[in-house]
Chain A
C-alpha cells in the first residue's frame, strides 16, 4: 500500500524510518555517541526536528531487543511523569519480598528499583528520553528541577542499564547551569541539530522519489529546480541558508492538496515546476495556515445560530502558548477554569476542531491537549495584545501564590495588590483565589495601620526623650510601646525577607522584588541597610535583555551598527554585502554590494563606485577596554558577579563564581553600561555580558557563539551582537522585567574570591591565588559583613 511521505506537524517515529530522509549524518553521530556515554544532550532551534531525529532516526538504528525507550514529557511534573512511565512499563512488577530475591536486590529503592524492575521485565537497556526538556524551566518550579537533578544523580549512581537523552531548544541551554553543576557529564556528549539546508532538502526529495511506496513523486528531471524553488519560497525574503521543518511540512501538505484535493491523502501526486509555480506567493506558510484554520473553525462553530468571532478562537488558543511563545500542555478542566467566560460546549467543540484541523494533539500519557508544534505557539503568542500579556502575567502571579500549600501560603503584598486590582474584573477567580485576595487586602490594611503606629511611636519616642526627666513612669509606658512597634516591624521584616527568598527560589523575580521593596521600606531607619537600598534601587533600573531578532547573512557578519536615531540596523558580512534592517520588524530594507575595508582603528570603510560611507562600530563611543577589566599576557579577564540563581547566605540571590575571558568591550552612549564579549568559565559558548558603572554584572549572558562584536543602542534598550555564525542578533529588554537585588560590592568581591580561590592583585592587576591563611581571614570578613548587613544564615 502506498504511503503519504509527510507528517505535517507531527514528529517522525520508529514506524516512519522508511520516509525519514536527509538526516543520516546526525543520526549516525548520535548512534555513535550513545555507545560512548550514558547521557546525551540534543539541542537545536525550534523546528529543526530534534524529536524526529531521536524517536525515528536513532530508534531506527537499534534492534528491538536493544532499545526500550520512554519519551518522558514534563506533563504536570517531570518527576511524576518519569515515575509513571517506569511504573507503567513494569517497574513495580518484580516481587522483591519473596525467598527467591537476593539480599542485594532488596537494597534498591526509588527510581533505581523501578528501572531494575523495568529491566528485569524486558531485559533491554532502558533509554529515558526527556523530550522538550525546556518545559521544565518554562512551566516547572525550582523545587521540581532540583528534585529532578537529584533523581538523575541517583539513577547514574545506581549503575543500572539506563541511558538518558535530553532534548532541549538551544535558547534554553543557559538554564542547564544548575543541572550541569550537579551532573558535570551532562554536556560532555552533545549534538546540535542544524536547521535544514538545501542539501538536506535535496536528500529528502531524492529519498521520497527513491521510496517505492511513496504516493508523492517529484518529477525526476526537474528535481534540482523544484528543490531550489521550494527552498527559496520557504526562506522567503529572509534569504537564509536554512529553512524550518514545520514550514516545509505544512508547505508540502498545501502543495499536495493543491495537486490532489484529496483529504485522505491517498491519491498519487506528481510535483512539477508547473505545480510549484501555481502555488503563487506563499507568504508565511505557518502563520497563514494557522490563520486559515482559525477562520475555518470560526465559520464552522456556532452558538445560537451565530458564527464564533475569530477573536474568540484566538482567545481559546491563547492559554496553549506560554508567555515565551512555547507550547503549554493543558488539561481540559484547567482550560475551562482559565476561560470561564466561554461556553463549555463551545470550548469542547473548538478543542475537537483544533485536533481535527491538526493544530493540536491529545497526549494520553498526561491527559493534556497541546499545540502540534512550538512554531504554532509562537504565532499565537505574537497575536496577543499588551492587555492579554498583562492578564497572563497577573494570572501567573496568582497561580504561583495559590499553588503553595494553604498553610505555607502568604497573602499578596500591597504592591502586588496594586498590580492585580485593575484586572480583577477581567479574570475568573476560584473561591480560593478570591479568599486569598480578600485576606491580602485585610493584611495590607493591618500592616498599614501597624506602620502608622510605628511612626507615631517613633515620634512619641522623640518627644519623650526630650522630656525624659519629666516622667519616668510615662517613659516606661512609651518604652513598652516602642518594644511592641519594634517587634511588629521585626516580624514583618522577617516575613518579607522569607517571602522574598521563597519567591527567588521559585525564580519569581517580580514577586521577590516587591517583597524586598516592602522589606526595605521597613528598614529605612537602619544605616547598615542603606547600601543595600542603594544597590537595589540602582539595580531596579537595570534592564534584562532577551533575544528579539536574528538577522541572517550568507557569510560571517564582520560588523554591525545601529543607524543614527536607532531606527535601523546595518550589518555587513565578509562577502561584501551591506544589509539594512528594519529595527522593529527585523525585515530587510535593502541590500547593497560593497567592498569592505577595515582601517587600523577597527572602523569599517564600505566603498561602492559612487560613495564612500564610513561607519563606526557603535555610536562613536570609545573602544577602550574598561578600567575594571584586567589583563594578563594574552586575554582580558573579568569577574562576573550577581546572577539570579540560588539565594546567598543573606537570603538574597547569590551569584556563581565565573571568570570571563574577554575578547572585546564597549560602552553605552551614556557610558553607564559596559558590554564585554568573550567566553566565561561556566559556558562553552561565547556570550555578551553587561556591567553597570560600578562593575556589577547585570542580567544574564546573551549567548552568541562565535561572536565578533557587540553594541548597545543609544537608549540602552537594545543590544546588537554579530559573529561568525553569519548572524546579527538583536536583544531587547524584557517588558516589565527588571534585574534586581545587586548585593553590596564588597560582599560580592569577597564571595567571588572565596568561591574562586583567586583575587585581583591591586599591584599588577593580575589574578593571584589566595593562600590558606588569607583565605580564612577573608572567610571571617565575609561572615562579619553578612552579619552587619543583617542577612539570615543559610542552612
Chain B
C-alpha cells in the first residue's frame, strides 16, 4: 500500500534484510534485529510511535496490513509455520508425544522453533497423527502442499486443501450429530422444531454440495437442539466451546472468512496472501476444534462369527485405522477377537474403545470395504439427486476445486456416485430362500448390491430423523 504521509516522513523505518527467523530493520540509520513476525513488527512500530515502514520499494501502513500480507510480502514466510506452531501447542493436552516434544525444545529455540526444519518435521508428524482419522489425512496433504507451494509459488493446490480440510471437518461434526440423533430417534422420536427440520431437510435433500456457511448453520442448529433437549453431545468437549458458536465469535469469523476464501478460489481471484490468510484462518479454526485430537476413527472391513461346538461364540473384527498413527503407519489393518459383533461396513468414531464408537455410516463410507478391497477409500456424503436416485460422495483422497461441467467436459475427480440399482433389488426380492449365490459370483452385480445398501441406509436415516 502506497502511503507517503504520516510518521514515515519523520521516522525512517526500512526493512533491510529478511531471514527465516529474523528481520533486520533500519530505524533512522540504526540497525535493529527483531523476530520475523507480524506481532513483533507491530510492537516495534508502536514503541517508535510510527505507523509506516518501507519494505522493498513499497511503503506500508501497519494498521492496514494483515498477518497474511505480512507473511506473503514482508516476512517472506513459508507456508505452515504458523499452523505447525499453533496446532502443536493446541494438541499437547491430547498428545503425549507433542507435549514431550514441546518440553524438549531447547530454551534458545523456544521462540522460533517453527522456523527450523528439524523441529517442524517432528511437530508436523505429531499433528498429522493426532487429529482424528480423516483430518490427519487432510493435514498431511496440507503440510505437503504447503512445502510444494512455498517452492513452486503455486497456491491453488494449497488453497484447495485448506478449504477441503475446513469443509470435511465441519461435515465430520455434523455427521456425528446426525448419527447420534438417528440413534436417539430410533429409540424415541425426537421433538425437532422447524429450524432443525429445515436444516436437516437441506442436508438430506440438497441436490448440490453444501458450502462452509451451510455446514456451520447445520452445526449450530444441531448443537442448540442437543443443548435444548439436554442430549449428550457426540463430542463431550463441545460443552466447552459453546461460546464459540455465539454470533461474532472468532470461530464463526474464521468460518466466514474461509467461506470467502473458498469463493475467491472458485472465482480464480486469489493471491499469495490469500493462501497465507487461509493458513491463518484454518489454524485458528482447528485450534478451536483441538478436541478432535482426542478421537480416532476406524473402518470396519469384515466381521467373522466363530462358534465351535460348545465353545462360547466370538467375533473376529477386521478393521483399519484411518489416518496416520504415531509411528507414521497409514491404514494399518488390525484383527481382534471380541465377544460382541459390530456393525458391518461401519466407520466408527471413538475416544477409547472402538466397540463403543459412533457409527457414521452412511454419511462417511469406505467404498473399498464395500467392494472387498484391502485398502481404505473414504468418501464423505455431499448431495442427493432424488430424481436420479443418486447419492454423491466425495473421495477425500482426491481434492479438487473443479466442479462438474458437462458442457465444458470438466468432471470433479473426487466425486463418487452411488446410484440405486432397482433391478438388482427386485431380483434379490424374487430370489428363493434369500439365496444370493448368483449375485456373489458376479462381481459387478455384487458391488451394486453392496452400494444399494448405502443408498437404502441413507434413506432409512432420513426417514427416521426427518419424517
Cα(A120)–Cα(B124), bound, Å? 8
Specify the chain A residue showing the minimal Cβ separation from B123. Answer: A100
Cα(A63)–Cα(B146), bound, Å? 12
The answer to whether B375 touches A100, judged by C-beta atoms less than 8 angstroms apart, is no
The answer to whether B128 touches A123, judged by C-beta atoms less than 8 angstroms apart, is yes
The proximity string for A residues 59-82 relative to B, scoring 1 for CB distances below 8 Å and 0 otherwise, is: 001011110000000000000000
B residues less than 8 Å from A125 (CB atoms): 330
The answer to whether B157 touches A95, judged by C-beta atoms less than 8 angstroms apart, is no
In the assembled complex, A37 has its CB within 8 A of some CB on chain B: yes
The answer to whether A105 touches B375, judged by C-beta atoms less than 8 angstroms apart, is no
In the assembled complex, B143 has its CB within 8 A of some CB on chain A: yes
Which of A37, A65, A66: most chain B CB closer than 10 A? A65
Contact check: which of B124, B125, B140, B332 meets A159 at CB < 8 Å? B332
A residues less than 8 Å from B118 (CB atoms): 95, 100
B202 to A: closest C-beta gap in Å? 31
A residues less than 8 Å from B140 (CB atoms): 123
In the assembled complex, A130 has its CB within 8 A of some CB on chain B: no
In the assembled complex, A161 has its CB within 8 A of some CB on chain B: yes
Q: Given contacts A63-B157, A100-B119, are A119 and B374 in contact (CB under 8 A)? A: no
Residues facing B in A1-60 (CB within 8 A) are 35-38
B315 to A: closest C-beta gap in Å? 24
Specify the chain B residue showing the minimal Cβ separation from A61. Answer: B413
B218 to A: closest C-beta gap in Å? 29
The answer to whether B375 touches A65, judged by C-beta atoms less than 8 angstroms apart, is no
Cα(A389)–Cα(B145), bound, Å? 53
A residues less than 8 Å from B144 (CB atoms): 64-66, 122-124
Cα(A482)–Cα(B279), bound, Å? 90
B residues less than 8 Å from A36 (CB atoms): 368, 373-375, 377
A residues less than 8 Å from B152 (CB atoms): 64
In the assembled complex, A101 has its CB within 8 A of some CB on chain B: yes
The proximity string for A residues 150-185 relative to B, scoring 1 for CB distances below 8 Å and 0 otherwise, is: 000000001111000000000000000000000001
Cα(A533)–Cα(B143), bound, Å? 67
B residues less than 8 Å from A38 (CB atoms): 374-375
The answer to whether B328 touches A116, judged by C-beta atoms less than 8 angstroms apart, is yes
Contact check: which of A35, A104, A159 meets B397 at CB < 8 Å? A35
A34 to B: closest C-beta gap in Å? 9
A residues less than 8 Å from B141 (CB atoms): 63, 65-66
Specify the chain A residue showing the minimal Cβ separation from B368. Answer: A36
The answer to whether B368 touches A63, judged by C-beta atoms less than 8 angstroms apart, is no
In the assembled complex, A99 has its CB within 8 A of some CB on chain B: yes
Cα(A100)–Cα(B324), bound, Å? 19
In the assembled complex, A145 has its CB within 8 A of some CB on chain B: no
Q: Given contacts A95-B118, A161-B330, are A66 and B377 in contact (CB under 8 A)? A: no
Specify the chain B residue showing the minimal Cβ separation from A121. Answer: B121
Cα(A121)–Cα(B399), bound, Å? 22
In the assembled complex, A390 has its CB within 8 A of some CB on chain B: no
Contact check: which of B101, B143, B326 meets A123 at CB < 8 Å? B143
A residues less than 8 Å from B157 (CB atoms): 63-65
The answer to whether A100 touches B328, judged by C-beta atoms less than 8 angstroms apart, is no
Cα(A123)–Cα(B148), bound, Å? 11
The answer to whether A63 touches B326, judged by C-beta atoms less than 8 angstroms apart, is no
Residues facing A in B313-356 (CB within 8 A) are 324, 326-332
The proximity string for B residues 193-217 relative to A, scoring 1 for CB distances below 8 Å and 0 otherwise, is: 0000000000000000000000000
In the assembled complex, B104 has its CB within 8 A of some CB on chain A: yes
Residues facing B in A115-163 (CB within 8 A) are 116, 119-125, 158-161
Cα(A107)–Cα(B399), bound, Å? 34
In the assembled complex, A526 has its CB within 8 A of some CB on chain B: no
Which of B101, B118, B122: most chain A CB closer than 10 A? B122
In the assembled complex, A596 has its CB within 8 A of some CB on chain B: no
B residues less than 8 Å from A61 (CB atoms): 413
The answer to whether B145 touches A65, judged by C-beta atoms less than 8 angstroms apart, is yes
A residues less than 8 Å from B413 (CB atoms): 61
Contact check: which of B101, B330, B374 meets A100 at CB < 8 Å? B101
A residues less than 8 Å from B368 (CB atoms): 35-36
A residues less than 8 Å from B243 (CB atoms): none
The answer to whether B147 touches A123, judged by C-beta atoms less than 8 angstroms apart, is yes
In the assembled complex, A102 has its CB within 8 A of some CB on chain B: yes
Cα(A159)–Cα(B332), bound, Å? 6
Which of B124, B144, B373: most chain A CB closer than 10 A? B144
B residues less than 8 Å from A158 (CB atoms): 329
Specify the chain A residue showing the minimal Cβ separation from B325. Answer: A159
B residues less than 8 Å from A116 (CB atoms): 328
Which of A37, A100, A121: most chain B CB closer than 10 A? A100
Specify the chain B residue showing the minimal Cβ separation from A120. Answer: B121
B residues less than 8 Å from A63 (CB atoms): 141, 145, 157, 399
Which of B329, B377, B399: most chain A CB closer than 10 A? B329
The answer to whether B121 touches A102, judged by C-beta atoms less than 8 angstroms apart, is no
B residues less than 8 Å from A65 (CB atoms): 141, 144-145, 147-148, 157, 161
Residues facing A in B358-400 (CB within 8 A) are 368, 373-375, 377, 397, 399
The answer to whether A101 touches B122, judged by C-beta atoms less than 8 angstroms apart, is yes
Cα(A194)–Cα(B101), bound, Å? 52
Cα(A488)–Cα(B141), bound, Å? 69
The answer to whether A99 touches B104, judged by C-beta atoms less than 8 angstroms apart, is yes
In the assembled complex, A94 has its CB within 8 A of some CB on chain B: yes
Cα(A94)–Cα(B122), bound, Å? 9
The answer to whether B326 touches A37, judged by C-beta atoms less than 8 angstroms apart, is no
Residues facing A in B117-175 (CB within 8 A) are 118-119, 121-122, 124-125, 128, 140-141, 143-145, 147-148, 152, 157, 161
B95 to A: closest C-beta gap in Å? 10
In the assembled complex, B105 has its CB within 8 A of some CB on chain A: yes
The answer to whether B101 touches A104, judged by C-beta atoms less than 8 angstroms apart, is no
In the assembled complex, B97 has its CB within 8 A of some CB on chain A: yes
Cα(A122)–Cα(B151), bound, Å? 12
The answer to whether B375 touches A161, judged by C-beta atoms less than 8 angstroms apart, is no
Which of B105, B145, B161: most chain A CB closer than 10 A? B145
Cα(A119)–Cα(B125), bound, Å? 9
Residues facing B in A80-119 (CB within 8 A) are 94-95, 99-102, 104-105, 108, 116, 119
Q: Given contacts A66-B141, A100-B122, are A35 and B97 in contact (CB under 8 A)? A: no
The answer to whether B374 touches A120, judged by C-beta atoms less than 8 angstroms apart, is no
B residues less than 8 Å from A105 (CB atoms): 327
Specify the chain A residue showing the minimal Cβ separation from B139. Answer: A123
Cα(A614)–Cα(B28), bound, Å? 108
B139 to A: closest C-beta gap in Å? 9
B residues less than 8 Å from A35 (CB atoms): 368, 375, 377, 397
Contact check: which of B97, B148, B330, B331 meets A64 at CB < 8 Å? B148
Which of B119, B125, B161: most chain A CB closer than 10 A? B125
Cα(A94)–Cα(B125), bound, Å? 12
Residues facing A in B277-314 (CB within 8 A) are none
Cα(A119)–Cα(B128), bound, Å? 12
Q: Given contacts A36-B368, A125-B330, are A102 and B374 in contact (CB under 8 A)? A: no
The answer to whether B374 touches A37, judged by C-beta atoms less than 8 angstroms apart, is yes
Cα(A351)–Cα(B152), bound, Å? 37
The answer to whether B97 touches A161, judged by C-beta atoms less than 8 angstroms apart, is no
A158 to B: closest C-beta gap in Å? 8
Cα(A791)–Cα(B97), bound, Å? 57
Cα(A108)–Cα(B148), bound, Å? 27
B residues less than 8 Å from A94 (CB atoms): 121
B122 to A: closest C-beta gap in Å? 5
Which of B121, B147, B329: most chain A CB closer than 10 A? B121
A187 to B: closest C-beta gap in Å? 14
13 contacts between A and B (CB under 8 A): A36-B373, A65-B145, A65-B147, A65-B148, A99-B104, A100-B101, A100-B105, A100-B119, A102-B97, A102-B326, A105-B327, A159-B330, A160-B329
B interface vs A, CB < 8 Å?
97, 100-101, 104-105, 118-119, 121-122, 124-125, 128, 140-141, 143-145, 147-148, 152, 157, 161, 324, 326-332, 368, 373-375, 377, 397, 399, 413
A sample of 9 more A-B contacts (CB under 8 A), given A102-B101, A123-B143, A161-B324, is A35-B375, A66-B397, A100-B105, A100-B122, A102-B326, A104-B327, A105-B327, A123-B147, A160-B330
